[in-house]
Structure 1
């Protein structure tokens, strides 16, 4: 993954200096699909750090990343639920019904859904949010 893009996702910067996330992602379609060595997209990275505003911007531009799995077969929802980032989880689940259903049923390499991850990581508030949405 391009270091500028990775840093923007880690820091949650949708605009900084000459960098604008929207322009960067719209420049070439493949830009949104760049991954880290573990297969994480910018959506996974932003979800890990809890940057809901960055997640929202990415989804506006490239909604297909929502269900894109990393090398452990985790979606961005798995990552956000495991980390307890309720705002990001809420945002990811507020996408249209088709995606929500698909996301809630996706399992990682261990067979865990995002709800399993939230419960195991003791993020009951996130787990309750997932229960209401399923």
Structure 2
């Protein structure tokens, strides 16, 4: 995937319900502070920086170093290092659900902000370190 160049504020404004817009504004500011990078749209995803990934299967592509999507059902936060790497923190995060590499949050105000910040910083450090043999990452921006 490549950055689409769409307006980040426009993507946030089109998000619904209203709680997704509020949470998207908060996450945009938080991820920008953590990464030191400007937000860009990757379709309906808001990403910060750029990383090229490659799996042992040969699958490869590009994505934001940290990214999230304000989906209707919940905000999706993408974690390259997977949710298992954050099991201890997830236990004290607050109401959420997970997928293999996704964290789903319905209301950011019910989440412990310090715990979420710690998860995002640790995930960013993992990406910037290049991932693992299973997931090879090269930060490009």
- Output the TM-score relative to the length of structure 1: 0.24
**Taking CA–CA contacts closer than 8 Å with sequence separation of 6 or more, which of the two structures ends up with the larger relative contact order?**
2
- Greater share of strand: 2
